[in-house]
Amino acid sequence: MKMTVRLRYAPSPTGHLHIGGARTALFNYLFAKKHGGTYILRIEDTDQARNKENAEQGFMEGFRWLGLNWNEGPQVGGEYGPYSCMERLDIYQQHTDQLLASGQAYYCYCTEAELEAEREELAAKGELPRYLGKCRHLTAEDRAKHESEGRKRTIRFRVPEDKVYSFNDMIRGTVEFESNGIGDFVIVKSDGIPTYNFAVTIDDALMQISHVARGEEHLSNTPRQLMIYEAFGWPQPLFAHLPLILNETGKKLSKRDESIVQFIEQYAELGYLPEAINNFLALLGWSPTVEQEIFSLEELVEQFSFDRVSKSGAIFDKDKLAWMNGQYIKSADLDRIVDLAAPFLQSAGRIGAEYDRAWVSQLVALYKDGMLAVSEIVPLSELFFTDGVAYDEEAKAVLAEETAPLVLKAFRDKVLALSEFTAETIQAALKEVQKETGIKGKGLFMPTRVAATGQLHGRDLNQTLALLGREKVAERIGKLIEL
């Protein structure tokens, strides 16, 4: 019987959409689509103290931008909703009551000071800190006494003793945990809100999640979740724990590491293309079966499998990402890049709300093949928006060459005489200067470029001069001739 494939990504709305979370979401999406399954977005918002306003909306905007559209979840709906934890408290309560009634869970009245003392005592003995079950066997009278004293209570899961919990991880193979090293864990906090392990297991089971793919930092959560599956008699899903993302020194990537841009909205703001982000993230820890680096989302779906995901950490190579984004910009439709570039030029005060789209399109086309991010259009095109030109020592050396004045005067005369000032007429004018002066190659083109732009190197000279315009080119060269 064919398995119904259902995967979910369940972020906590405690901040912005991080590249690690986006990769996890992408892997879930790719596997679901590969197998004709359902991809679900669910919001794990039980950590009320850390939840950020508008974070949930930010996640959804980020996923929409990436093209990772969910089949069930917020704004979409589905038969297994609601899709945020805080809207499912009555469901968790029903299951809590069931565990309490069966004796598989119990009330705990230990204070934080008592728990800390217990942890310190175990650590001093060299043992793994865990809850030793002080409240496991409280009588009704004991509970009444604690409550009369105003003690807050949590609910703990009664961990079976002397049992090994194992599962076959789709990436790591067989993984085993001994129950005696875990200790009875909290499933409902003193404020009545379920803990992550309790809520996520109930939601995964009731939403019939077939595969749970998540970061390896969740590996230690798995035995607790297996215990909850077992307690309710639910079948467990298949698990896949993804490798860590590492920085360029091979250490775990920290959100405080400012050497790497880490949030999806920042990449959008820098002018990265979503397909480049998806392509790059897919290759962080996963290898395709073909010798290829550039993949469309459809091609990634076709290629993806968990058995080609590595156990070891994946290095985040920011230069590789920039290169890849440049490849996508180069192959993108010009109109799309113009639409993305115009807001950057507007923010920099280079163009207004109303602008000459034809001219801006030519400007973007000039630099499109060399940009690693669309935001680079601003520094790259600076020479078109300044009144004067500053010449550094290398530029001055070019202009000081013996033949430079002859070339510049001849070219300026041609510029002023042209009926049209286009890349084609400029090219023809330079050829005429070459014939008249006998100067060619660098001796012809270098002083012309330097005089008009202040740069020794740049994009196509004819197109650059045409975009600068006759007036600006003639004025800049004229000032040098007059010196």
Give the Cα-Cα-Cα angle 350, 354, 355 (nearest 5 degrees). 55
Predicted pLDDT at 423: 96
**Contact (Cβ atoms closer than 8 angstroms) between residue 277 and residue 297:** no
Amino acid at 78: G
Rounded CA separation 32/16 (Å)? 24
| CB 313, CB 243: distance < 8 Å | yes
Token pair belonging to 107: 């009330």
255 is catalytic: yes
Six-digit token pair at 483?
A: 């010196």
Per-block mean pLDDT, blocks of 10 residues, the chain (483 long): 88 94 98 98 92 93 98 97 97 98 97 92 89 93 93 96 96 96 96 96 98 96 98 98 94 84 95 98 96 96 97 96 98 98 97 96 97 98 92 94 95 95 96 95 96 95 97 94 74
Q: Is 133 left (phi over 0), alpha (psi -120 to 50) or beta?
A: left
The pLDDT assigned to 183 comes to: 93
How far, in Å, CA of 462 to CA of 423, rounded?
5
pLDDT confidence of residue 268: 96
Output the pLDDT for position 42: 98
Rounded Cα gap, residues 36 and 309, in angstroms: 20
Please name the residue ranges forming H helices in 271-422: 274-282, 297-303, 318-331, 334-347, 357-367, 377-380, 393-399, 404-417
> What SS3 state is found at 367?
helix
Distance CA 394, CA 234 (A): 75
DSSP string, 17-52: -BHHHHHHHHHHHHHHHHTT-EEEE-B----TTT--
| Residue 156: strand pairing partners | 106, 186
- According to the model, what pLDDT value does residue 481 have? 86
Cα of first residue to Cα of last residue in the chain, in angstroms, is 87
Question: By the 8 A CB rule, do 223 and 179 touch?
Answer: yes
| pLDDT at residue 1 in the model | 55
Cα(182)–Cα(103) distance, integer angstroms: 18
3-state secondary structure of 178: strand
User: Is-contact 210 6, C-beta < 8 A?
Assistant: yes
Task: Provide the pairing of β-strand 164-169 with 173-178.
Answer: antiparallel
Residue in 52, 145, 251, 255 annotated catalytic: 255
Which pLDDT belongs to residue 462?
97
Q: Within 67-160, where are the H helices? A: 89-102, 112-124, 140-148
Nearest Cα to Cα of residue 63 among 42, 35, 88, 85: 42
Q: How far is CA 235 from CA 6, 73, 102, 153, 219, in A?
A: 14, 23, 19, 30, 18
CA dihedral 252, 256, 257, 261 (to 10 degrees): 110
pTM: 0.93
